[in-house]
A and B are shown apart, each in its own frame.
Chain A
């Protein structure tokens, strides 16, 4: 080894090339399955094409031009952003609290660990049906059919009875809450896995120094968890920005344009109105925005590490 190390560039290259072997399987798969489709998406975004015909008309950046002035597209982006913000705060706070609770010595923690993972396992079909019923607005023989409205009346809040999914003010919020409920299990296990890797000796040492539990949390847990929190946040952003099956199963094709999100717009342009070029332009723009957001998180976490 030392002999090689002395030998400058060429030898390092040989050594480095062995390191490449580690990523070769991953890169091979990547280049097979992603390079061509991604190239095609970008290529199609410069064309006008209905998805079937052999003729594609090259239109340059016209699709992008149209997209940038497409109010509904940006509105859908904001809707996804809204769901994401709720998920980042509500869902991750819930997940973190539950993970902290289950990391401690409490009763039934094995039971909780299993139960909290049920929502992610449930099929979207069940989730859609259940929440349709909970949020149902109609009445039959004088009683509310929907569980939420029924409980509101029974507990003396009849003034809060509401048509939850058909009111632009509440529809998106309902979807966001259901999304958080469906997704917090993921944050929970990832954060729990992260908490497990923190060395218990650190806490012991802090205790000896007289640090209270809040200080332990602030100065040990949080800094140690920053990398995992970052991953959880990035995955939350990706999961929430790309949410759509849940929306389809809760409000069908949507309440006007109030429940549109980017992926439903892309699918609509593709299958609904057969504008593949435009759909691909949406995909490219959307991807670029998501990359931007993730880069922002990365920079943020670097700052936090330095601080």
Chain B
């Protein structure tokens, strides 16, 4: 009897959990489905065809969106920007976060809170001085100018998150590494970074999404079409007045794919942190 009751409770618990999870899942999947559905229609049917799956599927929209939007160039640019910015952020922010968490130097707290405070100033205020500055040092319309600027944008949040994870790292491993003859840099690379893998995965996802969808700064700092990121391509379908919804949705779908792939690749590492069996915590 006892066992049956226990089993029953467990089953009902898991059913409730699944119903709850499923409800959230539907709300998340529906817009994705809607976006792809719109991408397969024409401008004339997109608002009038009420059927769940449209009768005629225009897969050609994806090709049209790619060529009309000039995606070849923009896509390449966005990949360059995203990879460089994310690699830059991971290296620079983990160095800094490690120092803030593990090393000692005067003014440590000052610098840390300086980075955290930078998160708080709303962006719109700073665009005019930023453009003036970038022109003075000649970094406008340059790939590296934009990349460095974007690295800086993502630094504060990444430092904050990584420091939290480094703080939880047990000092034993560090001591072990030190005895093995590792320097500070060695400990950072061989001990701290692997241990913080879940956090780094989060940072990679967060910043990839940020850079991939970024448009305001690119628009301000870059002039040439040949340097613009993917979001510029999407603008082609949104006129000041008229919007080509199917092509826009096709473009948005194409734009969403790489981010989803990055997430799929990274979320494994969020989980793996546990299975590697280290004693963090």
Please provide the chain A residues from 183 to 209 with a CB less than 8 Å away from any CB of chain B in the complex: 186, 189-190, 192-194, 196-200, 202
Please provide the chain A residues from 1 to 36 with a CB less than 8 Å away from any CB of chain B in the complex: 16-20, 22-23, 25-27, 29-30, 32-34, 36
Our pick among A22, A238, A294 for the contact of B96 (Cβ within 8 Å) is A22
- Given the known inter-chain contacts A41-B126, A41-B129, A106-B17, please indicate yes or no for A121 contacting B260, CB distance below 8 A: yes
Of the four ranges (under 10, 10 to 19, 20 to 34, 35 or more), the interface on chain A belongs to 35 or more
Contact with A along B126-154 (1 / 0, CB 8 A): 10111011000100000000001101100
- Tell me whether B255 and A199 are in contact (CB under 8 A): no
Task: Kindly state the separation between the CA atoms of A259 and B159 in the bound complex, as whole angstroms.
Answer: 33
Task: Kindly state the separation between the CA atoms of A242 and B122 in the bound complex, as whole angstroms.
Answer: 7
Of the four ranges (under 10, 10 to 19, 20 to 34, 35 or more), the interface on chain B belongs to 35 or more
- What B residues does A37 contact at CB under 8 A? 126, 129-130, 133
Say yes or no for B239: interface residue by CB 8 A criterion.
Answer: no
- Tell me whether B248 and A186 are in contact (CB under 8 A): no
Say yes or no for B218: interface residue by CB 8 A criterion.
Answer: no
- Tell me whether B152 and A122 are in contact (CB under 8 A): no
Say yes or no for B83: interface residue by CB 8 A criterion.
Answer: no
Task: Kindly state the separation between the CA atoms of A123 and B154 in the bound complex, as whole angstroms.
Answer: 19
- What A residues does B114 contact at CB under 8 A? 30
Task: Determine how close the nearest CB of chain B comes to the CB of A3; give it in whole angstroms.
Answer: 17
Of chain B, the residue at the smallest CB distance from A147 is B30
- What A residues does B44 contact at CB under 8 A? none
Task: Determine how close the nearest CB of chain B comes to the CB of A284; give it in whole angstroms.
Answer: 8
- Given the known inter-chain contacts A23-B100, A29-B148, A266-B125, please indicate yes or no for A115 contacting B281, CB distance below 8 A: no
Our pick among A106, A125, A231 for the contact of B252 (Cβ within 8 Å) is A125
Say yes or no for B264: interface residue by CB 8 A criterion.
Answer: yes
Contact with B along A87-104 (1 / 0, CB 8 A): 000000010011001000
Binds B, one of A60-68, A153-161, A275-283: A275-283
Say yes or no for B69: interface residue by CB 8 A criterion.
Answer: no
- Tell me whether A19 and B105 are in contact (CB under 8 A): yes
- Tell me whether A189 and B202 are in contact (CB under 8 A): yes
Our pick among B115, B126, B157, B274 for the contact of A235 (Cβ within 8 Å) is B157
- Given the known inter-chain contacts A33-B152, A193-B202, please indicate yes or no for A227 contacting B164, CB distance below 8 A: yes
Binds B, one of A70-78, A164-172, A250-258, A285-293: A285-293
- What A residues does B35 contact at CB under 8 A? 122, 126
Our pick among A25, A120, A127 for the contact of B95 (Cβ within 8 Å) is A25
Task: Kindly state the separation between the CA atoms of A37 and B213 in the bound complex, as whole angstroms.
Answer: 23
- What A residues does B177 contact at CB under 8 A? none
Say yes or no for A296: interface residue by CB 8 A criterion.
Answer: no
Task: Kindly state the separation between the CA atoms of A279 and B100 in the bound complex, as whole angstroms.
Answer: 34
- Given the known inter-chain contacts A121-B256, A121-B259, A235-B157, please indicate yes or no for A290 contacting B120, CB distance below 8 A: yes
The 4 closest A-B pairs by CB, nearest first: A283-B125, A22-B99, A40-B129, A193-B198
List residues of A whose CB falls within 8 A of some B CB. 16-20, 22-23, 25-27, 29-30, 32-34, 36-41, 51, 94, 97-98, 101, 106-108, 111-123, 125-127, 130, 181, 186, 189-190, 192-194, 196-200, 202, 224, 227-228, 230-231, 234-235, 238, 242, 262-263, 266-267, 270, 276, 279-280, 282-284, 286-287, 290-291, 294
Query: Could you pull out 21 A-B pairs where Cβ atoms are within 8 angstroms?
Result: A22-B98, A23-B99, A25-B95, A26-B96, A26-B155, A26-B159, A30-B115, A33-B149, A34-B118, A37-B130, A101-B21, A112-B21, A113-B267, A121-B259, A125-B238, A193-B198, A196-B198, A196-B271, A227-B164, A231-B164, A238-B120
A26-B96, A29-B92 known; 10 new pairs, CB 8 Å cut-off, are A20-B105, A26-B93, A29-B151, A38-B126, A101-B20, A117-B263, A121-B259, A122-B35, A193-B273, A194-B198
